[in-house]
């Protein structure tokens, strides 16, 4: 599954980092649609990207908070 993020398609196995530049790089592991706590309408679905970070942690972030890592 590919998802566009500001004109960039994120896909499984992409190397990413946070847009704010803080932290380590990670690897996209999952892309899923889920309910967001901030959704104004209960039926609204949001996109969540599951990232396995190089430091061993795993987190779900919105596509807008990620960018492709520099090669």
> What per-residue confidence (pLDDT) applies to 56?
96
- Tokens matching residue 31: 């892309």
- Per-position pLDDT tens, the chain of length 71: 555 555 568 999 999 999 998 889 999 999 988 766 665 555 556 788 999 999 999 999 988 899 999 86
Output the domain CATH number for residue 46: 2.40.10.170
pTM flag (> 0.95): no
- Tokens matching residue 47: 């996109």
Domain count of the fold of the chain: 1
Structural domain of 51: 3-68
Beta bridge partners of 57: none
> What per-residue confidence (pLDDT) applies to 37?
63
């Amino acid at each position: 599954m590919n998802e566009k993020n500001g004109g960039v398609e994120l896909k499984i196995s992409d190397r990413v980092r946070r847009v704010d530049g803080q932290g380590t790089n990670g690897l996209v592991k999952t892309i899923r649609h889920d309910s967001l706590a901030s959704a104004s309408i209960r039926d609204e679905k949001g996109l969540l990207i599951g990232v396995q970070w190089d430091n061993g942690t795993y987190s779900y972030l919105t596509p807008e908070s990620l960018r492709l890592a520099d090669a």
